[in-house]
């Protein structure tokens, strides 16, 4: 069919009219003619479902189009595609299942839903012969799902390093560049609409971890269980760590790392990480995201763009709507996730190996370093360098001790930290982070 001479109307049901939902409604309307010319489809929102009718909205939707019962989207036989932007893993799950059973294509930006229940949902999608599209679930406006599913489909994925939470990247950038406190930086990120409704998901690292699970599952062909993912948030990072990191030639990013080892064991982790200042990822600032994908044929590729916010995220939803329209107009493709069996096992988090940064506040007395290094050495953890900055010493008889640690297993590090906390000469909570040298 020629895209220009046989327009086909695609009726869409939109669940959720928050930040992203309003962006989809607004931008779909603004670019309707362009999308029609490019796809041959006139994509129209027919119904919208919201939780609270009285809430003020960014867009004016005719009253007769809105209701509060998501079943209205299912029972409307004209609706062919349902966009799920309500978030959460309960009602959203019921809605997606009902949509698939009613043979309606699903578009979702819900990373928590896919990371936690993707396996069941894609099995149902397969059974019903209806696809689920989810470009908006990872990295906002960056089309990274299409990159993995299409652009790099011929590659074995060797590793992925991603800055994939805009809120955390905004917070860390403001702490690092403007010296803001964690609380003030979070407040700014919320004002700008980057954070999830409950920012705990962002700052705990779980929003990025959910996205990492999706990227890893696409790359390695099986759903990674959340229990095998090591996750730490940004809420405990002290401004002092930025100063030490800088002295050592690094900055701090919430980095998600995905890679398979030589045995095919897949590691997935999201945690604050020291990244060399000279590396391109160190310069990804504000709410921007970046995903560095290393494929065995293509080598290193980098994808950069806005990872959160109304317009960038709605761009990805609209891309999925166009994909859905193509399926309706031209016929079926895959269901959104193609399981494959080259790898198949998750690496237990405690077995993952990395360099580490460790900052301790210790009594400023002789013998302390020996006690600390003994606890590390007992667990086969070697120190590669150490600084005890004199200019930052306080007058309370304590001092900072900053150690860079050789390759260590996470399990050994965790045990060593427990032992260090128990030492009388160690005050307060140790601050520790992974270090990525990012050399291929
Ligand atoms: N809260 C998310 C972020 C939005 O900050 O990246 C996009 O998932």
Please tell me the predicted confidence (pLDDT) of residue 389.
75
**CA–CA distance, 402 with 389 (Å, rounded to integer):** 8
How far is ligand 1, taken at its centre, from the CA of residue 236, in Å?
A: 19
Pocket-forming residues, ligand 1, beta carbon under 6 Å = 140, 165-167, 194-196, 202, 207, 307-308
- Residue 32 near residue 43, CB atoms below 8 Å: yes
**CA–CA distance, 189 with 307 (Å, rounded to integer):** 13
**CA–CA distance, 197 with 92 (Å, rounded to integer):** 15
Please tell me the predicted confidence (pLDDT) of residue 4.
43
**CA–CA distance, 181 with 163 (Å, rounded to integer):** 21
**CA–CA distance, 331 with 325 (Å, rounded to integer):** 9
Range 155-178 average pLDDT: 96
How far is ligand 1, taken at its centre, from the CA of residue 391, in Å?
A: 38
Q: Which of 104, 111, 211, 253 is catalytic?
A: 211
**CA–CA distance, 366 with 105 (Å, rounded to integer):** 68
pLDDT exceeds cutoff 80 at 90: yes
pLDDT exceeds cutoff 60 at 2: no
Nearest-atom number in ligand 1 for the CA of 313 is: 7
Grouping H, G, I as helix, E, B as strand and the rest as coil, residue 11 is: strand
Q: Which of 208, 381, 382 is nearest to 287 (CA)?
A: 208
pLDDT exceeds cutoff 80 at 222: yes
Please tell me the predicted confidence (pLDDT) of residue 395.
59
| Helix or strand run (H / E) with residue 306 | strand 299-306
| Helix or strand run (H / E) with residue 400 | strand 398-409
Grouping H, G, I as helix, E, B as strand and the rest as coil, residue 26 is: helix
Q: Which of 92, 50, 96, 55 is nearest to 69 (CA)?
A: 50
Please tell me the predicted confidence (pLDDT) of residue 272.
97
Least confident of 152-166, 190-204, 380-394, 420-434: 380-394
How far is ligand 1, taken at its centre, from the CA of residue 301, in Å?
A: 22
Residue extents of the structural domains in the chain:
8-141+311-330, 147-306, 352-435
- Name the residue of 110, 144, 186, 196 to mutate for ligand 1: max ligand atoms within 8 A of Cβ: 196
**Structure confidence by residue, pLDDT tens digits, 268-299:** 999 999 999 999 999 999 999 999 999 999 99
Q: Which residues touch 65 (CB under 8 Å, ≥6 apart)?
A: 45, 46, 47, 48
How far is ligand 1, taken at its centre, from the CA of residue 271, in Å?
A: 16
Please tell me the predicted confidence (pLDDT) of residue 267.
95
Determine whether domain 352-435 maps to CATH 3.30.70.260.
yes
**CA–CA distance, 311 with 24 (Å, rounded to integer):** 8
Please tell me the predicted confidence (pLDDT) of residue 332.
63
- Name the residue of 171, 199, 308 to mutate for ligand 1: max ligand atoms within 8 A of Cβ: 308
pLDDT exceeds cutoff 70 at 334: no
Nearest-atom number in ligand 1 for the CA of 109 is: 8
Please tell me the predicted confidence (pLDDT) of residue 198.
77
Atom 7 in ligand 1: residue holding the nearest Cα? 308
Q: Which residues touch 150 (CB under 8 Å, ≥6 apart)?
A: none
Specify the residue for token string 């996470």.
410
pLDDT exceeds cutoff 80 at 76: yes
Please tell me the predicted confidence (pLDDT) of residue 343.
58
Nearest-atom number in ligand 1 for the CA of 202 is: 1
Between 335 and 177, residue with greater pLDDT: 177
Please tell me the predicted confidence (pLDDT) of residue 30.
96
Cα R_g (the chain), whole angstroms: 24
- Residue 84 near residue 112, CB atoms below 8 Å: no
**Structure confidence by residue, pLDDT tens digits, 226-284:** 999 999 999 989 999 999 999 999 999 999 999 998 888 999 999 999 999 999 999 99
Q: Which CATH superfamily is domain 8-141+311-330 in?
A: NAD(P)-binding Rossmann-like Domain (3.40.50.720)
pLDDT exceeds cutoff 60 at 440: no
Nearest-atom number in ligand 1 for the CA of 167 is: 5
| Helix or strand run (H / E) with residue 258 | strand 250-260
| Helix or strand run (H / E) with residue 429 | strand 426-435
- Name the residue of 136, 207, 212 to mutate for ligand 1: max ligand atoms within 8 A of Cβ: 207
Nearest-atom number in ligand 1 for the CA of 111 is: 8
Please tell me the predicted confidence (pLDDT) of residue 3.
42
**CA–CA distance, 150 with 164 (Å, rounded to integer):** 20
Mean of pLDDT over the chain: 92
Residue 436, CA distances (Å) to 38, 136, 263, 392, 406 in order: 42, 27, 21, 25, 11
Atom 4 in ligand 1: residue holding the nearest Cα? 308
Q: Is 111 a catalytic residue?
A: no
β-pair partners for 339 = none
How far is ligand 1, taken at its centre, from the CA of residue 110, in Å?
A: 11
Q: Strands, E, within 318-392: which ranges?
A: 345-346, 353-363, 383-387
Grouping H, G, I as helix, E, B as strand and the rest as coil, residue 95 is: helix
Measured from the Cβ of residue 73, the count of other Cβ atoms closer than 10 Å reads 26
Range 319-338 average pLDDT: 84
Q: Residue 364: pLDDT band by 50, 70, 90 thresholds?
A: confident
- Residue 323 near residue 105, CB atoms below 8 Å: no
Q: Which of 204, 198, 143, 140 is nearest to 168 (CA)?
A: 204
Grouping H, G, I as helix, E, B as strand and the rest as coil, residue 285 is: coil
Q: Provide the token pair at 9.
A: 């109307």
Q: Which of 267, 248, 249 is nearest to 257 (CA)?
A: 267
Size (the chain), residues: 440
pTM of the model: 0.91
Specify the residue for token string 């959104």.
336
β-pair partners for 9 = 42
How far is ligand 1, taken at its centre, from the CA of residue 137, in Å?
A: 9
Which CATH number is correct for 147-306, 3.10.150.10, 3.30.360.10, 3.30.1370.160, 3.40.640.10?
A: 3.30.360.10
Q: Strands, E, within 65-210: which ranges?
A: 66-67, 81-84, 105-108, 132-133, 157-163
């Amino acid at each position: 069919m020629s895209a220009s001479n046989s327009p086909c109307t695609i009726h869409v049901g939109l669940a959720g009219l928050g930040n992203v939902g309003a962006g989809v409604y607004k931008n779909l309307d603004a670019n309707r003619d362009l999308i029609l010319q490019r796809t041959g489809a006139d994509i129209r929102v027919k119904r919208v479902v919201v939780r609270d009718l009285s809430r003020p909205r960014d867009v004016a939707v005719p009253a007769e189009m809105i209701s509060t019962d998501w079943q209205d989207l299912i029972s409307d036989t004209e609706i062919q595609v349902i966009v799920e932007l309500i978030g959460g893993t309960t009602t959203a799950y019921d809605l997606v299942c009902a949509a698939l059973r009613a043979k309606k294509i699903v578009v979702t930006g819900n990373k928590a839903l896919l990371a936690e229940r993707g396996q069941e949902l894609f099995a149902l999608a397969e059974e019903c012969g209806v696809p689920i599209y989810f470009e908006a679930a990872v990295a906002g406006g960056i089309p990274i799902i299409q990159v993995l599913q299409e652009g790099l489909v011929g590659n074995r994925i060797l590793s992925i390093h991603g800055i994939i939470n805009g809120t955390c990247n905004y917070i860390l950038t403001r702490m690092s560049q403007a010296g803001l406190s964690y609380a003030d930086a979070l407040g700014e990120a919320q004002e700008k609409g980057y954070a999830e409704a409950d920012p705990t998901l962002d700052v705990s690292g779980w929003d990025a971890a959910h996205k990492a699970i999706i990227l890893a599952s696409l790359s390695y062909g099986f759903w990674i269980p959340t229990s095998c993912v090591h996750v730490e948030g940004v809420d405990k990072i002290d401004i002092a760590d930025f100063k030490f990191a800088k002295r050592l030639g690094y900055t701090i990013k919430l980095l998600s790392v995905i890679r398979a080892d030589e045995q095919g064991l897949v590691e997935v982790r999201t945690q604050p990480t020291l990244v060399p200042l000279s590396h391109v990822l160190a310069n990804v600032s504000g709410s921007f995201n970046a995903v560095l994908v290393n494929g065995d044929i293509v080598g290193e590729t980098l994808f950069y763009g806005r990872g959160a916010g109304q317009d960038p995220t709605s761009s990805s939803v609209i891309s999925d709507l166009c994909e859905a329209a193509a399926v309706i107009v031209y016929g079926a493709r895959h269901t959104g996730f193609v399981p494959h069996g080259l790898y198949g096992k998750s690496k237990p988090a405690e077995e993952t190996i990395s360099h580490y940064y460790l900052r301790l506040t210790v009594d400023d007395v002789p013998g302390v370093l020996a006690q600390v290094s003994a606890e590390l050495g007992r667990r086969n953890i070697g120190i590669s360098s150490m600084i005890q900055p004199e200019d930052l010493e306080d007058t309370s008889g304590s001092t900072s001790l900053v150690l860079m640690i050789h390759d260590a297993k996470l399990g050994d590090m965790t045990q060593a930290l427990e032992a260090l906390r128990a030492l009388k000469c160690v005050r307060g909570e140790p601050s520790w982070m992974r270090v990525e040298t990012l050399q291929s």
